[in-house]
Structures are given as structure tokens and as C-alpha cells.
Amino acid sequence: MNVIITGASSGIGRALAAKFALEGHRVMAVARREARLEALAEEMAAQGAEVIPYALDITTSRAPAELLDEAVRVFGRVHVLVNNAGMSPYQRFTELSAVHVRQAIELNVRALTELCHAFAPHMLAHGERSHVVNVGSVGGYTPLPNFSVYTGTKHYVRAFTDLLRYELGGTNITVSGLHPGGTVTEFQAGAGQRVTPFAQRTMLKPAQVATRAYPAILKGRRVIIVGFVDKLAVLVGRVLPFPWAIRVMELVYRMNVEKVDPRYGE
């Protein structure tokens, strides 16, 4: 299969790109940091796998069409789209800069939606078995303190993914939502979180997420939640009323996360 993965320069996106490539798929890794993409491509080439780096800011208005054109030029047909890119500082709503509010919505919501809108007709037209994977978060189920915009965008991703799956039911496209929880990536530093050593021991590594998610993606699972702690977090949001759920999550964060300055560039 020919695979497109956004946010592939680090974390879960990079791990998914490596996993798909090592399983024999052709992968186009998309992100803004070109040097990191090229390093990934070289690492995979040394292991006999193919990753094609493509540096692109997917939040620009032309990005979805540009990425589709490049993917068709390189692959001819695209079979898997993984919308993995996402961001948000760990701050109260009134502490967020206007730039960060806009970036979170454009990356987590608009870019993901427009990429689905660009690639779905292409997949329908070629008629071969295809997959769209939208990476959400346990925050799509459970309220996360100091993540009001992020959690809101991930609720959107969850609802949009379920409805897109329903609308494309009976076609050659299967739509899945991958909803990770705490994972040891650059996300925490970028968001402005200092996680305790104890909490880090409960978090999955990106390669673990990719290894567990890969077969579920190919099986076309509607919801993919791979970690035990992640499933507990989702259970909190599903079972408890909001006033209780947010208090539980505030306690968890207070015990395990220190708020520091976010590192996202503006």
C-alpha cells in the first residue's frame, strides 16, 4: 500500500511511518522539519524500507491539494492517509496566545478535515482497499485540565471520524480513529508539561503505539485505543458525569504534571 502520514518528523507519526515502511509499504512522511524527515528516510533505507520525505506546512490553504498532487505524482494511487499532526499548549484558555489558539484549531481540525476532503474522492475513484486514520486523543472522551481548546478539537476529531466512517460505509474506504493517551514524545515539552518520572513509566513509547495500532488500522477498527492507562482515562469520561470526571483528571494531572513554559514557536 501507498501511505501518507502527517506529523511524521517525531513521536507517534514518525513511529507509524517507520512501522508501515518496515512492513513493506511505501510511505510519504509529511511534516515541516525537512532535516528530520530526511534522517528518517535514511534510517529506513539502511533497513531496506522506503520513506519519501516531503516537507510541507499542512495548515496553508494550498496544502491539501499540493499534497494530493505530489502523492499522485509519486505513487499514482494512495491507499492510506494518517492524519497525525496536532498541537496545543498546556495552559488555561485565557493564558493561551491568539496565535496558539489559531494554530491548534487550524492543525487539529481544519487541516485534518481538508486532507480527508482532498483524499477521499481520490480513494473512491481508484476503488482499491483504502484506509483513513484520524489521530485523536483520549481527550476526545475525557476532559483534560488546561487543555480546553485541545480537548475541544479532539472531540471534533472523534465525532467527525465516526460520521465520516458512517458516510463511507459500504465503499472501499475504512475510517478509523486512533486515540492515544500519554505517550513519551516531544508533545509534553512543546505543550509546556514536565511529567514526573513515575508517570513516564506508565506511558507508552511511540513505537509501542505504532506496533499495536498497525494491525488494528489494517483491520479497519472504528476506535483504536492501545494502552491500558489510556483505556482507563476513556472509562473516566464515559462513566463519570463531567463534574466528577474533570475533578478526577485534575487530581491525576496535579500529581503527575508540572506546568512550564510551552516551546511551540510563534
Q: In this structure, which long-range contacts are made by residues 261-266, counting pairs with CB atoms below 8 Å and at least 24 apart in sequence?
A: 261/192, 262/89, 262/90, 262/91, 262/100, 262/190, 262/191, 262/192, 263/189, 263/190, 263/192, 264/87, 264/89, 264/100, 264/103, 264/190, 264/191, 266/97, 266/99, 266/100
SS3 of residue 182 by DSSP: coil
160 CB neighbour count, 10 Å cutoff: 18
Sheet holding 173-178, edge to edge: 51-55, 26-31, 2-6, 80-83, 130-135, 173-178, 223-224
d(CA 140, CA 265): 25
C-alpha closest to that of 119 among 163, 162, 175: 175
SS3 of residue 259 by DSSP: strand
Round to the nearest angstrom and report the end-to-end CA distance of the chain.
36
C-alpha closest to that of 33 among 66, 61, 6, 60: 6
| From 54, 90, 150, 253, the catalytic residue | 150
| Residue 150 bears catalytic tag | yes
Contacts of 6 (CB under 8 A, 6+ apart): 13, 30, 31, 58, 82, 83, 84, 85, 111, 115
Q: So which residues are the catalytic ones?
A: 150
